[in-house]
């Protein structure tokens, strides 16, 4: 059965996906956006957003994503529920399979499926997310100015988060599960120079105390099994992110961490007409505004690709 190809399919309903949709729709590309398993992306589990330009009084993450979606739909974006679970990028047009089992074909694709923070797996972690539990110091550190916070992790991300928070908070407790950190030497040197950062090795989080907000963090020493209670109002989990790239393998080239690799200065992947935007290709910045910026770039790249290939494409389907 012949399926009419869609000019542009956007995979992911976060800031990158919706910004791409806004630009693509205004350019007359009639994009279809699939929201994925977490419509709105990581911002839907974020409390107050104060660092996105244009919202002078701040806005909640879910409300902001509603604005993004409404703006994309205003210009004609078709927003659909559903998750792309499999792709065939070996043929053209590109074939995408949804979790419902149905297939769509697309002349161009923007992958903006994001990344997922790795969590400790504690029940209290979910309950208190956005109420003291965070995975982003740059996003949420401001709310803990002058307070005591706990950071969990042993790599560069944990070190960076701790150093950032040390500029805002009275005290930062960094909990490292092993006997040493994985962070680079220079990051560790910076950490140990800060008088308000206390590093505890062989230490794990046992529980988070508090109902509506964090009151304390219960820790356990992995060798002695000694339990300690740290009075704190914030817990920052910095044990890494996992880019949501599995449906696009083995076609799309990724780095050692699993992030999609794009050609420098563009959003183009190794597959012609397939572009990547947002956190799925960004292991470093991971901000809503940078994701939106790459979403814009991806839409412009897709528009250029479609203009250049439309004649060849029309020849193929007739």
Residues 168-224 pLDDT 10s = 999 999 999 999 999 989 999 999 999 999 999 999 999 999 999 999 999 999 999
Q: Identify the CA nearest to 13 among candidates 64, 86, 88.
A: 64
User: Which superfamily is assigned to 6-117+241-317 in CATH?
Assistant: FAD/NAD(P)-binding domain (3.50.50.60)
- Is position 169 annotated as part of the catalytic site? no
Domain boundaries, the chain: 6-117+241-317, 123-237
User: Which one of 139, 169, 282, 301 is the catalytic residue?
Assistant: 139
- Produce one character per residue of 89-123: b if its CB has 16 or more CB atoms within 10 Å, e if not: beebbbbbbbeeeeebbbbbbbbbbbbbbeeeebe
Q: Say whether pLDDT at 287 is over 70.
A: yes
User: Which one of 67, 99, 136, 296 is the catalytic residue?
Assistant: 136
Residues 294-316 pLDDT 10s = 999 999 999 999 999 866 655 55
Q: What is the DSSP string of 16-73?
A: HHHHHHHHHHHTT---EEE--SSTTGGGGG--EE-SSTT-TT-EEHHHHHHHHHHHHH
DSSP bridge pairs for 168: none
- Produce one character per residue of 286-304: b if its CB has 16 or more CB atoms within 10 Å, e if not: bbbebbbbbbbbbbbbbbe
Q: Say whether pLDDT at 16 is over 90.
A: yes
Q: Say whether pLDDT at 60 is over 70.
A: yes
Mean pLDDT of 34-46: 81
Pairing of strands 103-111, 6-11: parallel
- Is position 312 annotated as part of the catalytic site? no
User: Which superfamily is assigned to 123-237 in CATH?
Assistant: FAD/NAD(P)-binding domain (3.50.50.60)
pLDDT for the residue numbered 254: 97
Mean pLDDT of 73-94: 96
Give the integer Cα–Cα distance in Å for 127 and 125: 6
Q: Identify the CA nearest to 97 among candidates 84, 107, 80, 116.
A: 84
User: Which one of 67, 99, 140, 179 is the catalytic residue?
Assistant: 140
Q: Say whether pLDDT at 52 is over 50.
A: yes
Q: Identify the CA nearest to 75 among candidates 157, 18, 160.
A: 18
Mean pLDDT of 248-268: 96
Give the integer Cα–Cα distance in Å for 30 and 116: 29
Same fold, 6-117+241-317 and 123-237: yes
How many distinct helices (H) and strands (E) make up the chain?
7, 19
The pTM of this model reads 0.80
Share in percent of the chain as helix, strand, coil (round to 5): 30, 25, 40
- Is position 139 annotated as part of the catalytic site? yes
């Amino acid at each position: 059965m012949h399926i009419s190809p869609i000019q542009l399919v956007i995979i992911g309903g976060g800031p990158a996906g919706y910004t791409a949709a806004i630009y693509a729709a205004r350019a007359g590309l009639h994009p279809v956006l699939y929201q994925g398993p977490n419509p709105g992306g990581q911002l839907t589990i974020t409390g107050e957003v104060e660092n996105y330009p244009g919202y002078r009084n701040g806005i909640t993450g879910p409300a902001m994503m509603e604005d993004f979606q409404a703006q994309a739909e205003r210009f004609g974006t078709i927003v659909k529920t559903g998750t792309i679970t499999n792709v065939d990028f070996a043929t053209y047009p590109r074939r995408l399979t949804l979790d419902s089992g149905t297939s769509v074909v697309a002349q161009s694709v923007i992958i903006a499926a994001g990344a997922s923070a790795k969590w400790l797996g504690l029940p209290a972690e979910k309950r208190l997310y956005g109420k003291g539990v965070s995975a982003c110091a740059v996003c949420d550190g401001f709310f803990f100015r002058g307070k005591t916070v706990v950071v969990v992790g042993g790599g560069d991300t944990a070190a960076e988060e701790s150093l950032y928070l040390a500029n805002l908070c009275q005290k930062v407790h960094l909990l490292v599960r092993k006997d040493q950190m994985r962070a680079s030497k220079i990051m560790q040197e910076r950490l140990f120079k800060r008088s308000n950062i206390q590093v505890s090795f062989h230490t794990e989080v046992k529980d988070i105390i508090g109902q509506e907000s964090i009151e304390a963090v219960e820790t356990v020493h992995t060798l002695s099994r000694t339990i300690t209670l740290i009075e704190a109002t914030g817990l920052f989990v910095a044990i890494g992110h996992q880019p949501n790239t599995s449906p696009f393998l083995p076609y799309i080239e990724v780095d050692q961490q699993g992030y999609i690799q794009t050609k420098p200065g563009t959003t183009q992947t190794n597959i012609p007409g397939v572009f990547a935007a947002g956190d799925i290709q960004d292991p470093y910045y991971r901000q809503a505004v940078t994701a939106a910026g790459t979403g814009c770039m991806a839409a412009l790249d897709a528009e250029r690709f479609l203009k250049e290939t439309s004649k060849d494409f029309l020849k193929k389907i007739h």
